[in-house]
Each structure stands twice: as C-alpha cells, then as structure tokens.
Structure 1
C-alpha cells in the first residue's frame, strides 16, 4: 500500500500586482514504505514547495494528497499539527537547531510538545542519539558541534517521534564531502528500516544514493526512475518501543521551555524584570505605608480606650423638639443629656454588667482653675470613667473624692509641682457659674473629676447634673461588638474616639489609594516595556517558531510558550518588588522606630500577594499580543527567515 499519494496537485502564488505564479502543475505521484526518494531540480523548480505540501506546512493547494488513504487537504488545523508531530520528520539543510537548548532538549522538543514524561523523553533521545553516534554529546549546545554532528542531531530530532515519513531538504548542502557520505549513510539506513525518506536536492551525487529519483522542472515532474536497490532491514523489536505522545503541551512544560528560552537572554530579562518591578514595588510600598499609619493611629487611640467599656452618646439629630439648641450645644457644657428612660434602656442591654455616667464641660475662656494668685483657663473638663486607661496618667493617681487630675501644661501655668495642692475649679453652664475646691491627685492628658463630685456641686446650687455620656461595662471583651451594634440599633451614638479613628482611617485609606494610583501609572509603562521586549523576542526567534511548527507545535503551543515567558517575567518582577520593598521597609522602620517609636511600614501578606498577582496579570496581558503574533506566523515563511 502506498504511504503517500499525490493526485493532480496544483499550487499558485499570488505576486505583487495580482499576477499568479504557477509553482506546481498537475503533480501526480505516489510513494511507498521503505523508499529513499530524491527529488532533484534547479532552484525555483518547485521541489521545496512540493516538500512543504507533503510535510503539511502548506495546505493552500488544489488536488488530493493522501496519507495512508486519508486526504490531508481536508484536515483541520489541529489534524495537520498532529500529522506533522507524529507522521512527518523534517531534516533541514541549515539544521535549524535551537541554539539555547542542549542537544538532548533539541532532540526531545517534539516529545515535549506531546507532553511525554521527562524520563521517557530522555530514554528515547539517548537511544536515537546513540544510533547516530552522538550519545556522548547530549549536554552540549549546537555551537559546540561540527556541521556533520549538527545534521545528525537534526536527524535524531526527525526520528524521535518514530514518524512514517522523513523529509530531508538539502540535508548535505552545508556539509563537506566526507561528512556528506556519513549523513547519507545514516539516511539510507533509515530507509532500509522501512521509513519513507524523501530528499530534496540539486546534487546528482546525492541522488545516486537513492532507490528512486524524481526530476522536477518548472513545477512539473519530467522524470521518475528507479535508482539503486536498498536491502530492507527488519526493524528490531525494541526499535519502536517508545509510545508516541497523544497529549499536547502542558502549561508546566511550556513554563519549563519558556525558562530555558529566557536563560538565553538572561541579562536582558533581568533588566526587564527589574524595570517592571518598580511599579509593583511602589504600589506595595504605598499600601504598606498606609497600613503602618493606620496601625499607628489605631494603636494610639485604642491604648486610651478600655476594651471592656462601650461609650454611648445621644444622637442630637434624633432628639425630641423639647430639647433646646442651648441644651444641645457642647460648648455650653451641656450636649444632649440622657433621660432616666434612656439609662434604664441601656442598662438592660445583654452582657452589660454596670453603667457609669459622665459629662464633658467645654468652654473658651469661661472655665478656669485657680491656685493662689495664679489662674489659667481650661478648655475641657471630663468626669472619670472606666474608659480612661492608665496610659492617660502621667504622674500621681486618678482622682478620689473631691480630687482632680489636671493637664501638665495647666500644672506648669499654676506653678509646676501641683500634686497634693488645693485648687479652685470654676466653670460656666447656661449663664450660671459654678465653683468647687479640689485636691490635685495627678497629672494626665486631660482634666478629670468624679461625676459624683460635680453632681453634688450642681445639687448645692439647686440644679441636677444630667449625664451626656454613658459608659457600659462588660465582663468580656468579646461582647463589646454586640453591645455597640445594639446601641446603634437603639438610635444612640458610639464614642467620639472611635468616630475620630474611623475618620482618620478613611483619610489614610483615601491618601493611600491616591498615592498607590499615582505609583500605578508606572505599571502601564512596565506593560509597554514587556510588550516591546516580547515583540522583539518574536522577531528574533521567527525561525525557531517555524521549526516548532514544523515538528507539530500548535498555535496554542506557541502562544502558551510566549505567554509563559510573560508569566515568568511577571513572577520575577513581583518577587524582586517584594524583596526590594521588604529591604526598604526594614530600613524605614529602623529609622521610624528610633525617631517615633513606631513601624511606619507594615507589609502584610495580602499586599505581597496582591503585588505578585498584579505583576503576573499585567505581564501576561502584555504578552498576549506578541504571543498571538508568534502563533500566527506562517511556518514556511518563518523557516526561510535568516
């Protein structure tokens, strides 16, 4: 049975100006297993065009090309890829070895495309390379071999997937006469073992080794005659014991190939990754700075808050009309007070163990503390509550009965060492002055007295002191969130400190977003740089792409290799960015710790993950266009590229 049959094959090329060039004219010929056929002709005779059609590189023709009875002219692109991968082996005049791959990897590349295991690939390659006398050179690169050795590597690559047809395009054209005889002997032995070998040549000397010689001129077969007889050799039992790959290139294999490709241009790729990392590094650094500032603000505010205490205030916007503006004015000393009904409602909230009343008296120039002949104005006076922590106390102790804690600047204004001294507190509320004597028990960040002491002063003046703030105390910190949710549900407000902390956090978040966005502009520059570099890589490796397509690489495979390179650039860029940011963050934290006792940069795992993932995504998106361009390259045109 014929392995190949060509029936009335015609091939036309469209020239500039719309004219057609008839490259092949009504070619009808068949080939059998075990033949060594030389197709001989001058340059431009159509012999290379014929080989491209037989090899499945060119499917734009008319007529029928049957392979084992199947018309490959009707094959889909996927079927053509499989045909080239498993049925055809190419040997090129210029060897077309991939320079940055070892001899072993050059030979196994077709099996890699089939996702054959590494062990199986190596075993098969070593056997084939031993047959062509190159087993001891498997770890060398192509530039370390002679021309004859390179051609033997190309022959081993053609044989690796055990194809039925070997196409040799001027296999001895770049060799001297002695090496030519060695290569022809290997090719002859391949045919003797039952393969169909078709050689394209312009040399009668080479054609003399063939069992059949076909002459072609002006796109037509002008002679087809028998040559020398070949002694058929029965193939040994283990010569085809390596299964052909039926799978396709996996992402892991594509990444491995991409990594090998990138090593060939290691310096350039390091600079690209470093340049691309700048944008990612800036974004991570801005996020970490924002995180450090938020943590510092939250820590500072939380250090002044008892975690077992929930502060409650009235919501002035929901107050009843009976409450006057004067009563609700905090500058007058009386923001909206709690009623007995309010206090009873709050005390019944689940997990509330106790409740403390509090007020805050504000005044601009109306409130003062007097000691002897010295007097100083007081902006704010608060009553003690369980929400005041030890961090607020600078010296002395918190107030007991008829005692007061004053601010350090007030103590300085009154004479310095004020602990244990008696002072007079005067304040104005609703156009009425109140006055009371207290013993200074300590120095703090605010002025504090006990609610009961103020309430007694009010009572002595015929008034009642109503709390404007209530502190709910629980026995377990885990209950505070539930209590806060309940007071909000009831229509009350939380603490001013928490509102201030939220405001600061929102401001820091906004600032961080703006700075990160500005830094993110450099990501666009990085994307353009990666796109340009990969485009350059496509141009540089056009011939390599042609080789990969000739040995059965699908468009998907080519695209996957280049996208994998973009993936690796993104991964390396992200890792470089994280490393540099960590170093800069460590330096910044050392400085900020010594100056402000805080870590200004806080890198979280989420920032690191975001940075690396963003780097990979941007890089891969940038690589899509170059990868698509590479995938669409015509294999015939690519192989012609020098």
Structure 2
C-alpha cells in the first residue's frame, strides 16, 4: 500500500438547497515518501481543493484519503489535530507568518500548541533555522525580512515537527526568479530526506524541478507524469528524539495572549483603563459605606460597655397578661405617661423597645422571675443586672430653686454607662443623681456649677407620684450617641436610690430592663442574637444601629449598582474589541488550525486575552481606588478628624474578581466565533 493513497475522491460544494458543484471527480492517486510532486492546472481546475483535502483542512468529501493506511475522512477532531501536528507541514504562498511574533516564536508556534517545553522547542527551532541560513535572525519580526527569508521561516515552521508530508501552496508565487530557485533547492533537499512533498503551482518552471507532475483539469486528473527520482541523503531536518504531542496548556495560552496584547498595547491599555473606572467606583462606594458604618459603630461603642447586652420585655415574652394589664393601666388622676422608652443604664442603651418603637411607647412591662431565669441561662452570660427605665411626656420634673425643669428620660445607672458619658463630676452614689448637660445649663447657666447642688426629683411611676431630694453628683453627656438620651433631658440614679424612693411611697421596684454581662467581649453578639431569638427586645442603640446599617447598606448597594453600569459598558467594549481582533487575526487563526491548533486552543487564547484585560482592569481599578481612598481620608481627617473611606482587602479582591469574570464572559462570544472559523477561508483572508 502506498504511503498516501486517494481512492474515488469526489468533492461537492453546495450552490443551492438542491444544486451542487462537482469540484473533484473520481480522483485516483497514490504517493510514496521521497517524491516531489507538482500538481498543476488552470485556476478553478480543482488543484487547491485537492491540496486542502490532502492536508486535512477540509474533511467533507466522498471517497477515501488514506495516510499510512488510515482514512483521514473518518478522523475525529482529536485525531485530525494529531494528524496536523505530526504528519503535515504547510508552506503558503503569502508566508502567513504571525506579524507580532519573532521569527523564533513563529517557528516554535506548532510546538507551543503541542505543549513541548520551552527549552526543547527553542533548541529545535534554532536548529532548523540555522540549517535554512537564518541563524542571525531569531529575534527579528517578519516585516524585517526579505521575501525569500520569510519563505524560509515558513519552511522552518513546516519542518520543525518533522512531519512526513509537506504541502506547499505556490511556494514561489511571491518571489523573484533568483529567490525562487533558492527556495526550490531547499524544497528539493527536503524531498531528498525521504519526505513526501506536494506542491501546487501554476509554473511550469517550478514543476520541472519535480519528480512527478500531476495535471488536473475540471476536477479530473488528466495526466500523471513520473520523472527520475531524487537521490536520497540523510534527513538533516529529522527530530532525533520526538516528544509526545500534548495540547496547548493554560500558561502557554496566557503567554500567547500577552504577546498578542503587546502588539496592540495602547489599545489594550485604554480598554483596561475604561474597565478600571467601574471597578474603582464600586470599591469606593463599598469603602464609603463601610467607613460610615464603622464611624457610627465606633461612636456608639464609645458610650457603652462592649460586654453588656440589654434586654426588655415584649408582649411575646410576657407570661402574665393580668400583670401586664395592671402595669399598662394609668389612673385618670395621674399625668399621661407613655413609658417603656427609658434611658436606664446609660441612656443610650434602653430607649426604643423593638423594630417599631412608636408602637411600644405605651408599653412598660416588668420582668418576671421566669424571664430573668431564661435570660440567665443564655450561654456565655456571666451575670445579670436589673434596672429600670422610663420615658415620659412632661410628667417628670426636677425642681431647683423653686423652678420646675421637665425631663423625658429616666433610668437607673449600670455598668453599661462609661466614663466617656460623664462630662463633669462622677457617677452617683446613694442619694445622688446624674443630670444631663442641657438641664444643668438651664438651671445654673454653667453645667459644672450644678455639681453638689440639691434638687427635688418628681417621677410618675405606673400612675404613682414619687418624689425625693438628691444631690447632683455629675453631669451626663451622651456625646454622639443615638437614642433619647442623646436628644432629651435625662435624670439617672442608682437602683438602690430608686428602690428607696419607691419604698418611701410604699412601692416595690419592678425592673423592666435587664443587662446581661458576657464572659468575653467576643461573645456579646451571640448573646444579643439569643435575646432576640427568645423574643425579647434589645437596646435602642442596637435597633437604631441595625436600621441605620440597613439603610446605609441599601444606599451603598444602589450607588454600587449605578457604578456597576460602567462595568456593563466595559463588557460591551471588550466584546467589540475582541470581535475586531478576530477579524484582524483571521489569517493567524487559519495558520494555527493548519498546524494543529484545536478549536479549544483558539478559544483558550482569546479567553486568555479577555482574562488578562479583566485582571489588568481590576488591578488598575484597585490601585486607583486605593489612591483616592488615601487622599480622600487625608482631606476628611484634616477637616472632620475622622476617616470615611475604609477600603478592605476583601473589597479589592472582589473588585478584581468581578472585573475578571465580566471580562471573561464578554470574551467567550468572540472566542467562539474565532474557534468556528473555517481554516481554508481564514487562510484566504487578507
């Protein structure tokens, strides 16, 4: 059996749904290694069609093409890829060198697709280039070479994998006569090494250098002239030790993508810059939201003890309806008292009862023993502190020097209050009270002057009027705290003092606030979650903080979403540019397919480019966001004494990840288009 055998080969091209053009008609040929065959014929005779079929560029035909006994018409993609890598080498009339690759990289391209290691492929390419007289041109670009040198590079690329068959399409068509002779000498030498060389040509002079001339006309072989064979000699182009052909690796695809991007560097920089704007905007919006949230949290934490959590009764946790009713009923003779919004334990801690504070203002439900035991059983609770808090609308007053000063917020002190809440003086002991700065200013003109002064405190507690005279021990300030204590006049005393006040009026204190002390600060949030899970209300600080945080998150995400529109624009821009790149590199894609590139390899190269664009965009966006955050924080700190843009590594990582994902998604469509290009049409593209 001949090495290459063609049996009853027919090729049809569809013209309409019902009509076909018969391009090749019952072609019957056989070739052996060592032959230098010229296929000649007029334009349109079918010689290029025959060449494409023999080279495996077109696999749609009737009949058989057997290479070493295997019918290439039955090859699957994997087998056809191996055929192109191992059996076939192409030499094109227009050279089809990749313009942005060096001569060395052009020649190693086929081995790169086979994932042969860098050292081996460079050594092999240099060996072949040296044999073809191009030793001093490794790092030049194709546009720096003459026509003859370019064709030698194309020959080197065809030979570098040591294939059995070389197919040359008009190898001297773009060369002058002297250079043509030099190239034909090289092609003859290749055939003398035992390779089958098939040339397609119009030139009788080129055909005369062959050992066999096959004439084709109107799709039929009309003449097959054999001439004296060539004298064989050692194969100088043979690979001494062949490596197993593999597939293009991810890192090799990245390297090829980098080389491609370098060719259009300015364009890719602009694309990356455009994509970075969206990433930068999103990161800055997230950093702003976190900065404001951190500022609110830090401000609140300055005024509370971080290991203490607050709990209040709700209707859900109330076990005795009758007791609740008696607490909520206020005699007609008593002033109206919407209680249940106390500032006990620091004023910031306990004011609004639940997510809907307005609905709770008429509730002031005391704790029962069962409730206290339930709270005490929460994991990580070290101890409990019982307290009382109330909120009134004009019924509670302080009398000083005969003048009445109304206040709204009353509570007993606890360790939840911190030293930062004391503007002047100190925390109260037995028989002493704290009053807020605004009240003290109204009484004495200067808040500090009220320290040590005696005042009469009048309270309405569950319909009972309580009164007592106490010494002002300190002036309370809520600072920037959120809650009624930060907005309303308030009075605080110890729980013992309040108990004595009730006892003097024949009453018993019924605590309506419980403070839970965590064994460690890190467990406070778990305790708060457990309190809410059991149906109790937390502190107004936590409630309002959650409300503010939720509103802030919504605001941040809306702004980030608006900024994200630019990412969509970037995706369209990347999609457009890569489509343009497919058109610009159509011929290159055809070459890659001809030398053994899979559709998957083509996709991988283009997706790698989009990945790199996304990565560079993300990195640039993060860098710009970091710079603007730094500058912005310096300016804000000088003006307001705080920072407001808190950029975190997570935001940077998310920004880069989002940029890469969006870019890769945008690159998939042009990558698929490139992979689906027909190699024959791609090679004809100008």
Please give the range of the TM-score, normalised by the shorter of the 2 chains.
over 0.9
Cα distance between partner residues in 2 of 1:343 and 1:533: 68
Question: Contact conserved, 1:91 with 1:171, CA < 8 A, in 2?
Answer: yes
Query: CA offsets per residue over residues 61-115 of structure 1, 9 Å max, x none?
Result: 2121110111111112222222112110000000000001111111011111111
Gaps of 5+ in 2: 330-336, 341-362, 479-484, 486-490
Secondary structure of 2:128's aligned partner: helix
Gaps of 5+ in 1: none
Q: 1:30 to 1:347 in 2, by over 3 A?
A: closer
* TM-score (normalizing by structure 2): 0.89
Question: Contact conserved, 1:162 with 1:244, CA < 8 A, in 2?
Answer: no
Question: Contact conserved, 1:161 with 1:244, CA < 8 A, in 2?
Answer: no
Cα distance between partner residues in 1 of 2:531 and 2:218: 96
Q: 1:105 to 1:452 in 2, by over 3 A?
A: same
Q: 1:157 to 1:351 in 2, by over 3 A?
A: closer
User: What's the CA shift for 1:351?
Assistant: 5.5
Secondary structure of 1:378's aligned partner: strand
Secondary structure of 1:119's aligned partner: helix
Question: Contact conserved, 1:281 with 1:581, CA < 8 A, in 2?
Answer: yes
Whether 1:111 and 2:111 are equivalent positions in the alignment is yes
Cα distance between partner residues in 2 of 1:337 and 1:208: 113
1:105-184 residue pairs with structure 2 within 5 A? 105-184=105-184
Secondary structure of 1:9's aligned partner: strand
1:334-373 residue pairs with structure 2 within 5 A? 335-343=364-372, 346=375, 352-373=381-402
Cα distance between partner residues in 2 of 1:474 and 1:526: 50
Secondary structure of 2:5's aligned partner: strand
Whether 1:547 and 2:586 are equivalent positions in the alignment is no
Q: 1:538 to 1:349 in 2, by over 3 A?
A: closer
* TM-score (normalizing by structure 1): 0.94
Moved more, 477-486 or 632-641: 477-486
1:559-578 residue pairs with structure 2 within 5 A? 559-578=603-622
Moved more, 354-363 or 336-345: 336-345
Query: CA offsets per residue over residues 537-559 of structure 1, 9 Å max, x none?
Result: 11111111111111111111111
Cα distance between partner residues in 2 of 1:346 and 1:22: 91
Moved more, 549-558 or 475-484: 475-484
RMSD, matched Cα = 2.3
Moved more, 457-466 or 143-152: 457-466
User: What's the CA shift for 1:348?
Assistant: 6.2
Question: Contact conserved, 1:369 with 1:426, CA < 8 A, in 2?
Answer: yes
Alignment-derived partner of residue 469 in structure 2: 437
Cα distance between partner residues in 2 of 1:387 and 1:153: 82
User: What's the CA shift for 1:353?
Assistant: 4.7
1:20-419 residue pairs with structure 2 within 5 A? 20-235=20-235, 239-319=238-318, 320-324=320-324, 327-328=327-328, 331-332=338-339, 335-343=364-372, 346=375, 352-414=381-443, 415-416=445-446, 417-419=449-451
Q: 1:275 to 1:455 in 2, by over 3 A?
A: same
Cα distance between partner residues in 2 of 1:545 and 1:493: 68
Alignment-derived partner of residue 529 in structure 1: 573
Question: Contact conserved, 1:208 with 1:227, CA < 8 A, in 2?
Answer: no
Cα distance between partner residues in 2 of 1:392 and 1:140: 76
Secondary structure of 2:411's aligned partner: strand
User: What's the CA shift for 1:641?
Assistant: 0.8
Q: 1:548 to 1:352 in 2, by over 3 A?
A: closer
User: What's the CA shift for 1:562?
Assistant: 1.0
Cα distance between partner residues in 2 of 1:310 and 1:276: 46
User: What's the CA shift for 1:474?
Assistant: 4.6
Cα distance between partner residues in 1 of 2:293 and 2:180: 76
Q: 1:208 to 1:481 in 2, by over 3 A?
A: same
Question: Contact conserved, 1:210 with 1:228, CA < 8 A, in 2?
Answer: no
1:597-636 residue pairs with structure 2 within 5 A? 597-636=641-680
Cα distance between partner residues in 1 of 2:503 and 2:67: 111
Question: Contact conserved, 1:41 with 1:215, CA < 8 A, in 2?
Answer: yes
Alignment length, in residue pairs?
641
Secondary structure of 1:48's aligned partner: helix
User: What's the CA shift for 1:311?
Assistant: 2.0
